[in-house]
Structure 1
């Protein structure tokens, strides 16, 4: 056993949630040590990895520039061989939980789109209003100030016109730090078609600098490379936050795989244990522990920490750890069009149709977000043209046509927390001997009814309005990479894992913030809500350490 280290606050995970909590704790004068399972790398290295990928990998594998280390495996590609697969998946819709996170310092913020939607008040009261899902243990007016703080911490650009803001008819305590990014030609056209159907395509709030520098990051210059990495750091990623944390006195230890949470006689967490890349073991003590890995790695760690004091795993007296796994089940429609649409101007995602997420229909089927992907189509057009066996001028002409006259529409459905959608420990183990996560996933009839009767017909109408000559719908539900629900929040310790501050019901000095705590998934991206919960938890941590 190597020497023991210590800090006031130990944070496991260096994604957006961990970074926000670390900064708040440091600002309050607390000592902070952050542990990261994977490596810490420079941006140039990721950019070079991406440039050196074969074309087929560039098109479809956003996590490929992040090769996993033996001690920190993740899903290196989206089509792994079963024997090599890290995530063990089963259930009717297993493919819909093939998550693409990476175990690197900075986490999944390296390759996220930067989208920062807020929940609506209705999103937080599904059980009360519609008789489905769960209610949050606090109202929307409690989380609103934390949303505003998160927007300034991440540097979120968004519309200045209240009519274009989301949620509608909810007073904001602060304006967005920056105005919105402008629409490209394709998004302008989608907005017109949506309006003819009574739908609103509105600017998406984004953690991206729109025309100005902010928080030491440059303005977005439209690389259209948000997946898999912003080459200039105009988009927030936690990797840009780590040097700021160190400048404030925080310590960051990479390649440290936490595998055990140790509790004492009085249920307090006393230490975490980690493996280094040489399989050496180390013990870290603290006053408060924050497990901010993600919605898969956090419940996996809690379950793996099973011992005589915690026979079901740490924080799991309710048997809810690993249950209620959520992500927005996604369908995509690839279109060929009669006339050029020209997506690819600006960020990869800049707008969404949001009014389709709300309504009384939520008592019987899911709401859904619809959008057009704004990534440049030239790589896809080139790949498709080459498959046709064309050469010379004919090849050049077809690449140009497909680059201009193709598009992708996406719909992301609202999930409900189902206890049977569950993460357990597989009998298969990784390089360190830690059990891999096994996930059972069924999108449920709630989502299937929505797709059949509501969202796919809307996609078809949008496609028709855009002048589509071909409409190819994905044959199954896909992942959206928004991991939620495995450490669900609630007021009742018998039916939830954490309280309203993301503090574990079972252990007063253990916090499990982020997407895993969210009681409802909604149809919109989860990151801003995760960030708001992180700031709320940080306030509780600081208060607890100051006043006991």
Structure 2
């Protein structure tokens, strides 16, 4: 007989947002059960898999692929899991395993700028958030202190308290870029969840230059670290548990979830409150698949907006040879950026963007290019040394507006357990394309300041994808045009909450993870208050007002 599983709070998904919400709830006394579709992973084995893999540029290569919890992979070939309905391809990659996709992130932990939450009011585009930047500030701070975040104050994001630690040491290449661009562009250290000193029991960054697909010394905060903390606090984790149905009662409260094990054995899990914390693709897929007589279009979907307003951050880029040796590859892969185009009146006309510099070693890419060009012998050695030392690149990180036609639906194909694949409908609109066009002048100016030669612009009709899945579960005050309320609670179900980047109403220009974590911590705190347990913020306010 199957074990009868139950908890005060049941969390679906063990990524960084779900695990930290689970930890916050457990620390305040709730029993918490976390269900993860994929397997548990061992850090040592992942590091070894990366070192032994011949596909060093494929950041998914070290991570397990499970027939019962498949995920999209686009390098070297599209595996067909995420079905493309067009008109523009959306090549998402993510990990369905314990700890989630932040196992292989670049650790960018940016805050939004205040105006990002008011673009409808200020610029007549997109939508306004139902909360303010000031509402987020304490949760940003808490997230940064948990994760160990460091960065520059010159990002446009106000702070009421300092970063938990000083920035990671600036790589030589980034120093030279900063010095060469000074007076025209301010180049600043990226805000990252990467240790510059021992923090949280983890060591400082030692510059291995393999942040993606995995930091070999564990200097970066990841979902794996979050899960370990949650389990140490008493959260129970069930791995290889593929939730396929959300059950509700006559009052529309969620009463249970059902999951398959790898052999398709079905299990029912009950709870008082539920958190859906898969990503912005798997979460709407589950909601849409969980139909009932009262919710024929899926759980939490009376509005018909589940899966809608999918956003990410498309990128264009420029590669060239600088007139001095930079030798990219020492230190973190993505350490510095230009942030002056994150906000401004121009947002009425075109997308804002961040300009990001890569610090990935150029040896492998240059070697592959020379082999493809048929270069060999002494000329190969000469060209490899020159290209590896001089080649650099800069890319845009562009905002996408919330468009209901960009969405996740259920596909016609099914996986090994009979669950539909997600299908994506996506396009890059004129607003974002205009931002990419505006950035071409910045690219040219940067290349000029660096003495650049052999400029290679990316195809203006082709956008790289930054894998920052945002939207599809948007929060709002209008139940007819959003999925959750401003606290992440489903409009249709009083005990169902959603955590992660999916609830973000807009994407802005910054990597979305820190905002997702801040919102998840805020949601967990609200859940405690709603359950009659003094929340962290209530406790802090009481302490501050005590005589």
Match among 131, 150, 174 for residue 187 of structure 1 = 174
What's the counterpart of residue 44 of structure 2?
Answer: 44
1:303 to partner: Cα distance: 0.4
1:407 aligns with: 392
Q: Which residue of 1 aligns with 2:456?
A: 472
- 2:53 is aligned with 1:53: yes
Q: 1:193 deviation in Å?
A: 4.1
Question: Residue 331 of structure 1: CA displacement?
Answer: 1.2
Match of 1:247 in 2: 232
Q: Is this contact kept in 2: 1:191–1:201, CA < 8 A? A: yes
Distance 1:79 1:43 in 2: 23
SS in 1 for 2:272: strand
SS of the residue aligned with 1:47? helix
Is the partner of 1:277 in helix, strand or coil? coil
Q: Is the 8 A contact 1:119 1:522 kept in 2?
A: yes
Seen in structure 2, the aligned counterparts of structure 1 residues 451 and 76 have a Cα distance that, compared at 3 Å, is: closer
2:291 and 2:315 mapped to 1: Cα distance? 34
**Alignment partners' CA distance in 1, 2:292 and 2:271:** 20
Count of residues in Structure 1 that have an aligned counterpart in Structure 2: 532
| 1:497 maps to 2:483 | yes
Rounded to whole Å, the distance in 1 between the matches of 2:280 and 2:501 is 6
Q: Is structure 2 residue 150 aligned with structure 1 residue 166? A: no
Q: 1:411 aligns to what SS in structure 2?
A: strand
What residue number does 2:503 align with? 517
- For 2:457 and 2:289, locate their aligned partners in 1 and report how far apart those are by CA, in whole Å: 39
Q: Is the 2:16–2:227 contact (alpha carbons within 8 Å) kept by the matching residues of 1?
A: no
Is the 1:414–1:523 contact (alpha carbons within 8 Å) kept by the matching residues of 2? yes
* In 2, Cα distance between equivalents of 1:451 and 1:86: 29
CA shift at 1:194, angstroms? 3.6
What is aligned with 2:314? 329
Q: How far 1:200 moved relative to its partner?
A: 1.9
Q: Which residue of 1 aligns with 2:31?
A: 31
Identify the residue that residue 374 of structure 2 maps to in structure 1.
389
- Worse overlay, 434-443 or 390-399: 390-399
Q: Report the equivalent of 2:87.
A: 92
Hey, what does 2:542 align to over in structure 1? none
Q: Secondary structure at the match of 1:222?
A: coil
Structure 1 residues 67-117: Cα deviation after superposition (integer angstroms, max 9, x where no partner): 311001112333435xx41111232321xx211111111111100000111
Map of 1:300-319 to 2, 5 A cutoff? 300-319=285-304
Partners of 2:253 and 2:495 within 8 A in 1:
yes
Distance in 2, Cα, partners of 1:428 & 1:435? 6
SS of 1:356's partner is: coil
1:153 pairs with 146, 168, 179, which one?
Answer: 146
After TM superposition, the score normalised by the length of structure 2 is 0.94
Q: What does residue 541 of structure 1 align with? A: 527
Structure 1: give runs of 5+ residues left out of the alignment: none
Q: Is the 8 A contact 2:272 2:495 kept in 1?
A: yes
Task: Classify the secondary structure of the residue corresponding to 1:398.
Answer: helix
Partner of 1:464: helix, strand, or coil?
helix
Higher mean alpha-carbon deviation, 434-443 vs 389-398, is at 389-398
Matched, 1:292 2:287: no
Does the 8 A contact of 1:68 with 1:76 survive in 2? no
1:444 to 1:147, Cα distance in 2 relative to 1, 3 A: same
Question: Whole-Å Cα distance in 2 between the matches of residues 80 and 275 of structure 1?
Answer: 28
Q: Return the offset for 1:191.
A: 2.0
State how 1:372-387 maps to structure 2 within 5 Å: 372-387=357-372
Structure 1 position 385, deviation (Å)? 2.8
**Which residue does the alignment assign to 1:75?**
72
Render the CA deviation track for 1:284-307: whole Å, top value 9, x for unaligned.
Answer: 111111110101110111001012
Distance in 1 (alpha carbons) for counterparts of 2:131 and 2:69: 36
* Shift of residue 181, structure 1, vs aligned partner: 1.2
Distance 1:289 1:244 in 2: 20
**Could you tell me whether the CA contact under 8 Å between 2:471 and 2:503 is conserved in 1?**
yes
Deviation at 1:547, TM superposition (A): 5.7
Correspondence 1:436-451 to 2 at 5 A: 436-451=421-436
Shift of 1:166: 2.6
Q: Which runs of 5+ in 2 are unaligned?
A: 535-547
Query: TM-score, length-normalised on structure 1?
Result: 0.94
Tell me which of 60, 64, 74 is aligned to 2:61: 64
Partners of 1:505 and 1:200 lie apart in 2 by 43
Maintained 8 Å contact 2:20/2:230? no
Deviations 1:496-523 (A, max 9, x none): 1111111111101111121110011001
Partner of 2:162: 175
User: Which of 101, 104, 123 is 1:108 aligned to?
Assistant: 101
- Contact 1:269–1:289 (Cα < 8 Å) also in 2: yes
Moved more, 13-22 or 334-343: 334-343
- Note the C-alpha offset of 1:120: 1.0
| Pairing of 1:231-270 with structure 2 (within 5 A) | 231-270=216-255
1:79 and 1:325 map into 2 onto residues whose CA distance is 25
Q: Please say if residues 284 and 472 of structure 2, whose CA atoms lie closer than 8 Å, have aligned partners that are also in contact.
A: yes
Counterpart in 2 of 1:117? Answer: 110
Supply the distance in 2 between the matched residues of 1:293 and 1:473 (Cα, whole angstroms). 36
**In structure 1, what is the equivalent of residue 5 of structure 2?**
5
Distance change >3 Å, CA 92–CA 188, structure 1 → 2: farther
Q: Aligned partners of 1:467, 1:73: CA distance in 2, in Å?
A: 46
